[in-house]
Amino acid sequence: MISFMVRMRFLNEDHYEITEVLQKLTAASRLEPGCVTYVPHWCEDAPDTVLIYEQYKDSAAAEAHRHTPHFQEYAVAGLYQRMRERHVESLTAIA
């Protein structure tokens, strides 16, 4: 299993629009056959920051996610155009 977290920071004024985009991206991503978990969060202690926790069955499924039409529309053409910074953390499961 492949797990990672994506942390993105946005302008506070974009909060509503980013929420809408994330709802659409999440709904479509969860339908992918290789997606195990896809959960976006607004960070309570940093209200301009989104944290997305993602799990895929393998690296091929994670790579396929990045090439889907919904990822291109909602992430690349949507979120990436509004974000101020982005950081990805790859995770290794302990148990």
pLDDT tops 90 at residue 95: no
The H or E element containing residue 95 is none
In the chain, the domains with their CATH numbers are 1-57+85-90 (3.30.70.100)
Q: What dihedral angle (degrees, nearest 10) is formed by the CA atoms of 27, 69, 89, 59?
A: 100
Q: Cite the DSSP H helix spans in the chain.
A: 15-29, 59-66, 69-70, 80-82
The verdict on pTM exceeding 0.85 is yes
Query: What percent of the chain shows pLDDT beyond 90?
Result: 97
pLDDT tens, 22-39? 999 999 999 999 999 999
| Mean pLDDT of the chain, nearest integer | 97
